[in-house]
A and B are shown apart, each in its own frame.
Chain A
């Protein structure tokens, strides 16, 4: 705009400031509580569960991994990561196949779809209790890698499939047909055309699956059996641990979550960079 135009046109309307305030309040409400926990986890040995902050050290992080009385943090962390990886793999594979299948109408497709999405609507805690009961009926011992795995899949599969639907809807069938026309077998078509084109979507599904599983609580509470996953362990700790090591645990798990997301995004960026590099080489 030229200097001669009236300033009034440049000025923002009052609604801009109202909405800005609203947004700032929202961000504070969203991240403030987490920030409190991260900050308080860095207190020294005198630290308590509330402000003010007492000292600055990594004492409670050391405590977390050395003291048995705080709970089985290392073991549950281990189990949660393994469980999340299993959930991720199953979610990606099943979502991919379902996405491929649902491109066409087939007999009973509506029923299959609603059965799949239905478990998303059911309250997680109730679903968990149900799974626990069912295992009892069949005289099976619930454990984190059987009943909890199934309980978590009831959450991640519908999510993954819905994401896959969106991804697959932008996939042009002519790519597959062209591959076939050019002599590719159906396996070659899948490996060389379909999966590479859908890869960003598959990574998104994997991320979803992993993070949903890693901090799943409601469905896991009644299904993990005698050995806890990390969120369940944290919950039991809130009942009997009264030291800032609880907070340091929150900090550590957050770091792990971000590290995994960063790793995924980083690997995608790396792939793109390599492609660009190859282009520049010639």
Chain B
């Protein structure tokens, strides 16, 4: 086959229909070679279906999937040079660790010497050499993941597809193993596509985060962009770290607009580029939770360029290096401030206190 080594992926108008259900609805995406890409979304959003279509375990109803520039729709997985790491790993229970890793070589009729050499090197790489003769049932979750990774990587695929790879692990191990995934991705230098419903996992790992909702891509971009500059309410709320406020446009003055919500007035935001607003329009804005400052109400008007909301403290959660203060703000379900520990305990609030939450108005983000 005349495939290139490159593992850049392109999805062009990919749809997947199960009877009446449209699981994937016209997805277009480019993933560069050697990227760590995370598909992020709630269960049932179509992210796993996309992964399985790239892997060759499902065929798209419509559209093309290109790997290294070649359309791979209809090809079996080995010809695509992809490998998949299944949720809960699907290690063969009757084979030892080394036999599991050697499986892809055995079905390709590799010689015994080649098998021993390659499997040995791979086990070294993922640090499981001492487990070579154990059966999967005798391994911990983290060890199983390493075996699964080694088994998937042994044929030198150009794309590795990981379906919720960390969901079977407990919290601490999850953080440890995600670093290991990242390290392996750098070592192997191939494209990783990782499906998850955990925001922090995606943001911590990915070069490219793809946020999905009911079969569509809502936003795709670098982790920092997704977190700091969500495009719309859904992304802001799903990725987290933002408060979303529903506002009405009160005044438009050239390069800025003044908005008002039920709880706050005079939120002046800069207007960037093409977005056209008219007085009376309903818009959503996002305010980062860690941009909020809390103070006790003192009757003073807010300084220019500072927006503020007065609210009641609903709950306080100590998180170690910061304190999560949940507020009851008029008209909003969730309004949360992340206050640094030092700032909070300088003048701690208790549940029921009335506070004013302020932020620099130009830090508000206009959502689509």
CB atoms of A177 and B86 under 8 A apart:
yes
Q: Is B307 an interface residue (CB 8 A)?
A: no
Q: Is A270 an interface residue (CB 8 A)?
A: no
Residues of B within 8 A of A181 (CB): 55-57, 77, 82-84, 86, 152
Q: Is B76 an interface residue (CB 8 A)?
A: yes
Residues of B within 8 A of A55 (CB): none
Total chain A interface residues with beta-carbon distance under 8 A = 23
The chain A residue with its CB closest to the CB of B77 is A181
Contact of A279 among B55, B57, B96 (CB under 8 A): B96
CB atoms of B78 and A183 under 8 A apart:
yes
Residues of B within 8 A of A279 (CB): 96, 133-134
CB atoms of A182 and B86 under 8 A apart:
no
- Within A162-194, the residues touching B (CB, 8 Å) are 172, 174-175, 177-185, 188, 192-193
CB atoms of B107 and A197 under 8 A apart:
no
Residues of B within 8 A of A275 (CB): 135
CB atoms of A178 and B155 under 8 A apart:
no
Contact of A278 among B78, B103, B133 (CB under 8 A): B133
Contact of B94 among A172, A178, A197, A278 (CB under 8 A): A197
The chain B residue with its CB closest to the CB of A278 is B133
CB atoms of B90 and A180 under 8 A apart:
no
Q: Is A282 an interface residue (CB 8 A)?
A: yes
CB atoms of B90 and A177 under 8 A apart:
yes
Q: Is B93 an interface residue (CB 8 A)?
A: yes
Residues of A within 8 A of B57 (CB): 177, 180-181
B115-155 CB mask vs A (1 if < 8 Å, else 0) is 00000000000000000111100000000000000011001
The chain B residue with its CB closest to the CB of A178 is B90
- Within B33-57, the residues touching A (CB, 8 Å) are 55-57
Residues of A within 8 A of B77 (CB): 180-183
- Within A86-114, the residues touching B (CB, 8 Å) are none
The chain A residue with its CB closest to the CB of B98 is A282
Q: Is A118 an interface residue (CB 8 A)?
A: no
Residues of A within 8 A of B82 (CB): 181
Given contacts A177-B90, A279-B96, contact A182 B132 (CB under 8 A): no
| B300 CB to nearest A CB, Å | 63
| Whole-angstrom CA separation of A192 from B55 in the bound complex | 22
Contact of B155 among A183, A192, A197 (CB under 8 A): A183
| Whole-angstrom CA separation of A57 from B92 in the bound complex | 55
Q: Is B276 an interface residue (CB 8 A)?
A: no
| Whole-angstrom CA separation of A179 from B103 in the bound complex | 8
CB atoms of A174 and B107 under 8 A apart:
no
| Whole-angstrom CA separation of A180 from B56 in the bound complex | 10
CB atoms of A172 and B134 under 8 A apart:
no
User: What's the dominant secondary structure at chain A's contact region?
Assistant: helix
| Whole-angstrom CA separation of A181 from B162 in the bound complex | 12
User: What's the dominant secondary structure at chain B's contact region?
Assistant: loop
Q: Is B104 an interface residue (CB 8 A)?
A: yes
Q: Is B108 an interface residue (CB 8 A)?
A: yes
| Whole-angstrom CA separation of A181 from B135 in the bound complex | 21
| Whole-angstrom CA separation of A175 from B100 in the bound complex | 11
CB atoms of A182 and B107 under 8 A apart:
yes
Q: Is B106 an interface residue (CB 8 A)?
A: yes
Q: Is A262 an interface residue (CB 8 A)?
A: no
Q: Is A196 an interface residue (CB 8 A)?
A: yes
| Whole-angstrom CA separation of A171 from B65 in the bound complex | 31
CB atoms of B107 and A184 under 8 A apart:
yes
Residues of B within 8 A of A177 (CB): 57, 86, 90
- Within B63-118, the residues touching A (CB, 8 Å) are 76-78, 82-84, 86-88, 90, 92-94, 96, 103-104, 106-108
The chain B residue with its CB closest to the CB of A195 is B94
Residues of B within 8 A of A281 (CB): 133
| Whole-angstrom CA separation of A17 from B55 in the bound complex | 63
| B274 CB to nearest A CB, Å | 45
| Whole-angstrom CA separation of A275 from B151 in the bound complex | 21
CB atoms of B103 and A192 under 8 A apart:
yes
| B124 CB to nearest A CB, Å | 15
Residues of A within 8 A of B96 (CB): 278-279
CB atoms of B155 and A182 under 8 A apart:
yes
Contact of A172 among B90, B103, B104, B155 (CB under 8 A): B90
| Whole-angstrom CA separation of A179 from B93 in the bound complex | 12
| A158 CB to nearest B CB, Å | 28
Show 23 A/B contacts (Cβ-Cβ < 8 Å), sorted by A: A174-B86, A174-B87, A177-B90, A178-B84, A179-B92, A180-B77, A181-B82, A181-B83, A181-B84, A182-B78, A182-B103, A182-B151, A183-B78, A183-B104, A192-B103, A192-B106, A192-B107, A193-B92, A197-B92, A197-B93, A197-B94, A278-B133, A281-B133
Q: Which 10 pairs from chain A and chain B are nearest by CB?
A: A183-B78, A174-B90, A178-B90, A182-B104, A184-B107, A279-B133, A196-B94, A181-B77, A181-B84, A282-B133
* 11 further A-B pairs in the complex, CB-CB below 8 A; given A175-B90, A278-B96: A174-B90, A177-B90, A180-B57, A181-B56, A182-B78, A182-B83, A182-B152, A197-B94, A278-B133, A279-B96, A281-B133
